[in-house]
A and B are shown apart, each in its own frame.
Chain A
Amino acid sequence: MEAATNGQTVGPARVRFYQTGTFTVGNRLLDVSVQSVQSDPRRNNSLNSGHRACQGCGEALGARYALDAAMRATKNRIVVANATGCLEVFSTPYPESSWRVPWLHSLFGNAPAVATGIAAALKVKGKDDVRVVAQGGDGGTVDIGFGCLSGMFERNDDVLYICYDNEAYMNTGVQRSSATPAGAKTNTTPGVGEEPGNVFGQGKSVPLIAMAHGIPYVATASVADLRDLEYKVQKAMGLHGARYIHVHVPCPLGWGSAPSDTIRVARLAIESGLFPVFEAEWGEVTGRRRIRDLVPAQAYLEAQGRFRHLFGKHPDTRRIAWIQDIANRNIRRFGLLDEGVQS
């Protein structure tokens, strides 16, 4: 059985089950081994209900799917280190905790190193079957935790690190991080002045930087394609060494999008080319998710309040075009429209 990039391949012949426009896969038609973890009534619910995330929180959704997939892949034997951030705060209003996994929160910027310590302890104790997952928001990952993350990659420690990228510091009330996209309004890149919103030409691609460490596995994923996320987590858990998955998770509060639009917004990011979904092994891109129905960047931008200043009576066509250029570059660079690429 060949698993495919987005879990839609069954057996030697590829089967496409999505419904036009929604991509909803007829899960029950699939072979049991590639069915969604979430369709299993015995799934772990690693991040259980009752947490305090906002309605439509992409991070809560992504974390639940990712960890349940990791649990399935390890027969329920994972330990989790969590960075400070929304995920940490909304999941542990003690004495209530949503976590049904052994879970440690230490600091904002040290989750990768804490995970390294856990992995070292498990190794020395001979608990080879227990695996380690570390997770944090974009701020905890690409900014303040970046040194620890790079150190963990470079040593190739046996840790899967998952970054839930909602493109700003949400827990502190929506401030810019180095993952905030060009033009986006946050409370530290306000929508005022000559060029409202975040500056252009800054930021960094941590998935590409992760690849530069030559680690066994790097992937991007999105809550718009949860089956692909599950597949990638499962694949990562089948490998040892440092692994990195960067998940795009809309934040209705910070993005000014409707809670019911979380999946739609995430999908528009993929379909416009602004968020390239791909995977890489040992520093080489090995798979990419093909754009199915190409949309202009504008469709993605217009769905979110944080880009509102680009539109209105006098649309900022110049900067909208720049953002389109970013999308075009991603499409070229990752071959997101190439024939033969899985969709």
Chain B
Amino acid sequence: MFRQLEGSQAIAETVAMCRPEVICAYPITPQTHIVEGLATLVKNGTLSPCEYINVESEFAAMSVAIGASAAGARAYTATASQGILFMAEAVYNASGLGLPIVMTVGNRAIGAPINIWNDHTDSMSMRDAGWIQLYAETNQEAADLHILAFRLAEEISLPVMVCVDGFILTHAFERVDMPTQEQIDSYLPPYAPRQLLDVDEPVTIGAMVGPEAYTEVRYLAHHRQMDALELIPRLSAEFRETFGRDSGGLLHTYRTEDAETVVVSLGSVNGTIKDVIDEFRDEGVRIGAISICSFRPFPMESLRVALAGVRRVVTVEKSLAIGLGGNVAPEVREALAGMGISVATIIAGLGGRAITRSSLRGVFRDAVEERLPPLTFLDLDLDLVHRQLERERADRRSGPAAESMLKDLGAVASRVG
């Protein structure tokens, strides 16, 4: 049924219909509306049986999920930004133990400087933590991916992170085709744990593993993620059969047939990118777009197939690997090794800076005309940076940099755009 819903509400209602048995939550913007929505659904009895635990930190949130999952309950939590860093040790632990926890990440920048707005620095910091990472493009997909996530996590015994752009999706009202309980129940069987803390069959979980088997245990996780490369398309096809729409998959292609230039991105920015692609296509420019839904496992082969015959790839990335450049581009380059395709990186939208069509039009034009350098920072105010560097040259004790740059700008901290 179509409803006009805030992204967080759509996610909360969908998660509730997935019948999680233990939900633990610690608030952080922009995840709050999701866990508030779930709190209501548990408290008013809509979601039952379910234990909703207000924990004292994100580290505890993930730890409660670990205990619950190992004791046989379907466990869910959500976080963002500083929260995912605060739980980092437990994030790795959950995947290392092979526990199929599902977590929403309402993507947000990481401080310092503290910033509540959207980018992908948070989930990117955990890209190698052993979790499957799915990125949602729309609110519809944000809701749907959770259903897929529980199914996938439990089939493969690995945790899944559903990454949803903060504010852009979590706080936006869009039309969402909400699934029914019957549909979800037919798609998602009850959780059958692979390992269980069971008094009738006691097991030891979490023993120390030395060099004799550590590599193999890690490889097993890698193997599972490689399996997921086949499982995700299969489960997405099943999803289409049950729910009558496309959500998930390894990646989405848009007008890539005959394209010479392809823009690769993650998450909601693909919406803006597609608009710009349409404009270029109207002018006869052979350009298309790919948005990667499954960043972990990384769809090497699918990318190779989707990009065969392309001349150049431009990645639009909402996170910065400081000291290197992009997070996505190096992986795309590895996927395309030997294919003679150039890959350029555009860092955009950090800390919520709006990614405008006109700015994208400019850099895509540069790419098409072979003028785009390997690394571009979209709409970077280089003068502001240089003035700060000048102040630092002039005065050893130039003070805190971020504050001094804000003062220079004369901008209020909350200005977006």
Kindly identify, within residues 150 to 181 of chain B, every residue whose CB is under 8 Å from any CB belonging to chain A: none
Q: Bits for A74-110, please: 1 = Cβ < 8 Å to B, else 0.
A: 0011110110000011001110010111111111011
Give which listed residue, B56, B203, B209, contacts A148 with CB less than 8 A: B56
The distance from the CB of A340 to the nearest CB of chain B, in whole angstroms, is: 40
Verify B71–A117 contact, CB threshold 8 A: yes
Task: Of the listed stretches B89-97, B119-127, B324-332, B356-364, name the one at the interface; the rest are far from the partner chain.
Answer: B89-97
- For the complex, what is the distance from the CA of A100 to the CA of B200, rounded to whole Å? 11
Point out the residue from A78, A94, A107 that lies within 8 Å of B90, measured CB to CB: A107
Q: Does B260 sit within 8 A of A, measured CB to CB?
A: no
Least distance between B324 CB and chain A CB atoms (Å): 30
Which of B51, B56, B64, B208 contacts A124, CB < 8 Å?
B51
Contact yes or no, B198 A102, CB < 8 A:
yes
- Whether, in the assembled complex, A327 has its beta carbon less than 8 Å from a beta carbon of chain B, the answer is no
Closest Cβ of chain B to A54, distance in Å, is 17
Q: Which residues of B, 180-224, contact A by the 8 Å Cβ criterion? A: 196-199, 201-209
- Asked if A125 lies at the interface with its beta carbon under 8 angstroms from chain B, I say yes
Q: Select from chain A the residue with minimum beta-carbon distance to B92.
A: A107
Residue B57 lies at the interface, judged by CB distance under 8 Å to chain A: yes
Which of A150-158, A183-191, A264-272, A287-295 lies at the interface with chain B? A150-158
Residue of chain A at shortest CB distance from B64 = A117
In whole Å, how far is B83's beta carbon from the nearest beta carbon of chain A?
Answer: 14
Contact partner, A110, options B63, B197, B208, Cβ 8 Å:
B63
Decide if A117 touches B22 in the complex (CB within 8 Å).
yes
**What's the least CB distance linking B365 to chain A, in Å?**
50
Q: Are B198 and A117 in contact (CB under 8 A)?
A: no
Report if B17 contacts A (CB, 8 A). Answer: no
- Taking a contact as CB atoms under 8 Å apart, the answer to whether B90 and A147 are in contact is no
- Shortest distance from the beta carbon of B182 to any chain A beta carbon, whole Å: 22
Contact yes or no, A117 B68, CB < 8 A: yes
How many chain A residues touch B (Cβ–Cβ < 8 Å)?
44
Size band of the B side of the interface? 35 or more
* A94 touching B50 in the complex, CB below 8 Å, given contacts A113-B63, A117-B69, A117-B75: no
Question: How far, in whole Å, are A113 and B53 apart by their CA atoms in the complex?
Answer: 10
Residue B404 interfacial (CB < 8 Å): no
| Known contacts A147-B57, A148-B56; A124/B21 CB under 8 A | yes
* Pair A120/B66 contact, Cβ less than 8 Å: no
Contact with B along A131-164 (1 / 0, CB 8 A): 0000000000000000110110011010000000
B63/A148 in contact, CB under 8 A: yes
With an 8 A cutoff between CB atoms, is B59 at the interface? yes
Taken together as a complex, chains A and B put the C-alpha atoms of A147 and B205 apart, in Å, by: 24
Considering only residues 67-94 of chain B, those with a C-beta below 8 Å from chain A are: 67-73, 75, 89-90, 93
CB closest chain-B residue, reference A123:
B51
Nearest CB of B to A163, in Å? 17
Known A103-B204, A110-B90: A118·B199 in contact at CB below 8 Å: no
Contact of A118 among B55, B57, B70, B207 (CB under 8 A): B70
B22 proximity list for chain A (CB < 8 A):
117, 120-121, 124
CB neighbours (8 Å) of A117 from chain B are: 22, 24, 53, 63-71, 73, 75
Q: With A and B bound together, what is the CA distance between A155 and B52 in angstroms?
A: 12
Give B196's nearest chain A residue, CB to CB.
Answer: A102
B372 within 8 A of A: no
- Is A209 positioned at the interface, with any CB of B under 8 Å from its CB? no
Q: Are B199 and A107 neighbours in the complex by a CB distance under 8 Å?
A: no
Asked whether A116 is an interface residue with its Cβ less than 8 Å from the other chain, the reply is yes
Q: Is the CB of A124 within 8 A of B73?
A: yes
Contact B59 A92 (CB under 8 A): no
Interface check B54, CB cutoff 8 A: yes
Complex contacts, A212 vs chain B, CB 8 Å: none
Q: Would you call A115 an interface residue if the criterion is a C-beta within 8 Å of the partner chain's C-beta atoms?
A: yes
B89 proximity list for chain A (CB < 8 A): 107, 109-110
Say whether B49 faces chain A, with CB atoms less than 8 Å apart: yes
Q: Contact at B67–A113, with CB atoms within 8 Å?
A: yes
A-side contacts of B203, CB under 8 Å: 102-103
Q: Which residue of A lies closest to B70 (CB)?
A: A104
Chain B residues whose CB sits within 8 angstroms of the CB of A119 once the complex forms: 67
Q: Known contacts A118-B70, A125-B72, A151-B57: does B63 contact A106 (CB below 8 Å)? A: yes
Interchain CB contact under 8 A, A106 and B90? yes
Partner of B202, one of A89, A102, A151: A102
Residues of A within 8 A of B202 (CB): 99-103
Asked if residues B51 and A78 are in contact (CB atoms below 8 Å), the reply is: no
Q: Which residues of A contact B63 (CB under 8 A)?
A: 106-107, 110, 113-114, 116-117, 148
- Residues of A within 8 Å of B55, CB to CB, are 113, 116, 151
Q: Which one of A88, A113, A154 has the greatest number of beta carbons of chain B within 10 Å?
A: A113
Q: What are 20 inter-chain pairs, A to B, with CB distance below 8 A?
A: A79-B71, A81-B67, A92-B208, A101-B199, A104-B197, A105-B205, A106-B206, A113-B59, A113-B63, A117-B63, A117-B66, A117-B70, A118-B71, A121-B71, A121-B75, A124-B73, A148-B56, A148-B63, A150-B56, A155-B54
Contact residues of B with A, CB < 8 Å? 21-22, 24, 49-51, 53-57, 59-60, 63-73, 75, 89-90, 93, 97, 196-199, 201-209
Pairs A-B, 6 closest by C-beta atoms: A117-B67, A151-B56, A105-B206, A113-B63, A121-B71, A121-B73
